Amino acid sequence: MVGKPQITKWANPLRSNLRFQDLDLPRRNPPSTTRLRSSFICLLWTLSLFLLPALVFAGTGALPLLRHGKNARALGMGGAYVAVASDATGVYWNPSGLAYVRQPGITFTNRLQNLGTRLIDMAFAVSASSRLGLGGAMLYYTVDDVPVIDTQAQNIGGLTEKQIALFAGGGYRIDKTSLGVALRYASHQLKMPEMQTEGTGLGGSLGILYTPTKALRVGVVLDSKLVLQWDDQHTDASPFGLRIGVAYHAVLDLNTSLNLLCDIEQNHQLPLKMHLGTEFVIQDGPHAFALRAGLRDILLETRGADIASGILVSTTIKPTFGLGFRWHPPESGSLRVDYALNLEAVGIRSIISLAYDF
């Protein structure tokens, strides 16, 4: 008779779904799980055949919306989230993290930005089996009435811009490793006096998470080039990207723990970046409180520019801070509230996320 696997926590008590099976115990999958596993592996392989050419022949360019991170918890830790993205926003950060989703969950994030812009996002995730998780997300950005000046220095009206990105993906766990894939659809609309144009495109990402010990996890994400095809036939694109993340979880005592995180980000023909984050967690029974801090977008190279490394780092880093609280009433789902404060050259940006696991 096969024994029941023991469930052990790996990380932050704020993420009750970060659990790993005891890998030394045997496990027999029911027929439905086996079919799901085979179908997902076939889907992953098929999508890889389409994504890999885009990864190899990626160019430069940018789609601003895709550079915005999701989730106030992640943004409060400097955007270092590739190795711990096992919630609904994993479809954006690292789709392989969806394999560790245990309960259906939803996340809503709102960013209060200046200059009349608005950026919000929503994400959801479900557990299809003990090893397979699925998720989706939407990013929405809009700005209205930006003044348009002609060659005679006359205001001829306002510019309206709208960007939408949709994500869908899944992650599957095999022993200490999980694999994931996600598809991305983007739409960029511009409306000015006597002119309206729109560009749309498809892209994808491949992710992997490896957990060598209960305290250490490593994540890798490859983002393909996403090419926008505009109505006037010109193109714009977000570049191919590679991101590697490491997370270390230290248990300080029975009720406190510390998470240390580091991401290295390389986009095609752009400078190498680093993101650093830390999270201190205090747990009181089923509830938890977290303090967070980080450094975002630390440039590690100049790409030929004549800038001293010290000046480069000091003038490009963006400090971040955050708070988090999880409330878990008996015999009910858990509610999480996260807040992040990002200090940037354009000003202070506040981000708040609400998440509920059913």
pLDDT of residue 333: 84
pLDDT of residue 335: 93
pLDDT of residue 269: 79
Kindly state whether residue 117 falls inside one of the protein's structural domains.
Answer: yes
- β-bridge partners, 143: 117, 161
pLDDT of residue 117: 74
Grouping H, G, I as helix, E, B as strand and the rest as coil, residue 103 is: coil
pLDDT of residue 80: 95
Kindly state whether residue 190 falls inside one of the protein's structural domains.
Answer: yes
pLDDT of residue 289: 96
* Region of 61 on the Ramachandran plot (φ > 0 left; ψ -120 to 50 alpha; else beta): left
Q: Which residue has the tokens 């209205």?
A: 144
Kindly state whether residue 195 falls inside one of the protein's structural domains.
Answer: yes
Q: Are 139 and 68 in contact (CB under 8 A)?
A: yes
* Tens-digit pLDDT profile for residues 88-137: 999 999 999 999 998 899 999 987 765 567 788 899 999 999 999 999 99
Measured distance CA(250)–CA(345) in Å, rounded:
33
Start-to-end Cα distance in the chain: 32
Kindly state whether residue 349 falls inside one of the protein's structural domains.
Answer: yes
Measured distance CA(182)–CA(169) in Å, rounded:
4
Kindly state whether residue 320 falls inside one of the protein's structural domains.
Answer: yes
Domain that holds residue 222: 8-357
Report the candidate in 324, 322, 323, 334 with the shortest Cα–Cα distance to residue 358.
Answer: 334
- β-bridge partners, 133: 127, 171
- Give the pTM: 0.77
pLDDT of residue 310: 60
| Number of residues that make up the chain | 358
CATH of the domain at 163: 2.40.160.40
Q: Count Cα atoms within 13 angstroms, Cβ side, for 245.
A: 32
pLDDT of residue 63: 59
Q: How many structural domains compose the chain?
A: 1
Kindly state whether residue 2 falls inside one of the protein's structural domains.
Answer: no
Low-confidence residues in the chain, pLDDT < 50: 1-34, 36, 38-62
Kindly state whether residue 1 falls inside one of the protein's structural domains.
Answer: no
* Tens-digit pLDDT profile for residues 13-30: 344 333 333 323 233 344
Kindly state whether residue 294 falls inside one of the protein's structural domains.
Answer: yes
